[in-house]
Copies of this chain bind each other. A is one copy, B any other.
């Protein structure tokens, strides 16, 4: 507690943020200096690593994310195993940055989602929604000797929210400007928007999934080339956009035209989404397919903007996520959004694009020990604002 009070009184803290996402590749670990808290928060990026899971761990997590293959013994073990892997990532990050473990004040860790059930279900007379991120923050605190905050989604779900998205809070405190209307666009597997008008407060942030991010491109890259993704958009640049296919993809879609708030995931933009068009357009060259699907991805993002925010005079579109590295996708976005809207990567604001989510959870941990609420009820649907995360002492 003395440690906790000391650190919560500090003006500047050295913080590590950890994010392991649904791709199950491993953990992103970022090292920051965070000054102040709330809307005064300033983030100084120090270093970042991607730490892959050891062989077999991905499969073990996947097995225990599924209802028919999971069991309580494995889940219990995974909850303790993952923090050991996180700790190895932290040690490697500190080595790389040439900083001692005991110089770190705080860890913020998202954990590994193995179940997310935000829709209420009647159970024994109660209405229960639930979520589970494993990788126990208390285990990490004991292994590292560092105060650790984790399990951020639980509190929002307990108050009737969806437990997601949590990034819009971070987007607002880091990127809100009184000068420019901004939209934050993260292009992961799925794309999502946080809209930050210059005259709005944090309680009025609008955030939602726009539709596919890299997911459809990645599926095709795997299918056509046995590659995981289209590096820098190189394959797309070799192809041509096929307007018939583009129209057909737009017609196949059921999500993009929906009014926000809305969210989607793997279930909608998997192989089945592409199957019918792959059958109909099998004569189209692979490169043309990649170019067209990349353009469709940009279209999905733009369409959400043009259909639902025609009155918003957007000044800047600030892009992060793996998709920010796809130059063909960025070019497509520039064509759709036009010259008046500046497209910038978060890197230009000191927020390394690939590390954005890990940075977000470092900042959320900093908010927790500052006693600040970090859910936005209008975004998650929770009944009220609340301080998220469990505080685990070393």
* Interface set of A (CB-CB < 8 Å, partner B): 1-5, 8, 54-57, 60, 64-68, 70-73, 75-77, 79-81, 83-85, 114-115, 117, 121, 123-126, 128-132, 136-139, 141-143, 151, 154-155, 157-159, 368-371, 386-387, 389-394
Contacts and interface: CB of A to CB of B under 8 A. Distances in A.
Given A2-B371, A391-B390, A391-B393, A71 B73 contact: no
Given A1-B8, A1-B387, A142-B155, 14 more contacts: A66-B72, A72-B132, A76-B115, A76-B117, A76-B131, A77-B123, A80-B128, A80-B130, A80-B158, A81-B128, A136-B158, A138-B154, A139-B155, A391-B393
A80 to B, nearest CB: 4
A80 B5 contact: no
Contacts of A73: 67, 115, 117
Nearest to A160: B142
A129 B80 contact: yes
Contacts of A65: 72
A41 B68 CA distance: 48
27 contacts: A1-B8, A1-B370, A60-B124, A72-B115, A73-B117, A75-B115, A76-B115, A76-B130, A76-B131, A76-B132, A77-B123, A79-B132, A80-B130, A81-B126, A81-B128, A81-B130, A84-B128, A85-B126, A138-B151, A138-B154, A138-B158, A138-B389, A139-B155, A142-B155, A142-B159, A371-B393, A387-B394
A77 B130 contact: yes
A84 B154 contact: no
A54 to B, nearest CB: 5
A66 to B, nearest CB: 7
Contacts of A129: 80
A75 B72 contact: yes
A388 B238 CA distance: 58
A25 to B, nearest CB: 15
Nearest to A157: B80
A332 B345 CA distance: 78
Contact of A390 (B85, B123, B387, B390): B390
A386 B394 CA distance: 7
A17 to B, nearest CB: 19
A72 B68 CA distance: 9
A158 B142 contact: yes
A56 B125 CA distance: 11
A91 B370 CA distance: 30
Contacts of A132: 72, 75-76, 79
A388 B125 CA distance: 33
A392 B137 CA distance: 12
A121 B1 contact: no
Question: 3 closest A-B pairs (Cβ-Cβ)?
Answer: A1-B371, A142-B158, A70-B72
A72 B67 CA distance: 6
A389 B155 CA distance: 17
Nearest to A57: B124
Given A136-B154, A387-B393, A124 B66 contact: no
Contacts of A386: 142, 394
Nearest to A116: B76
B126 A84 contact: yes
A54 B155 contact: no
Contacts of A71: 67-68, 70-71
Contacts of A114: 72
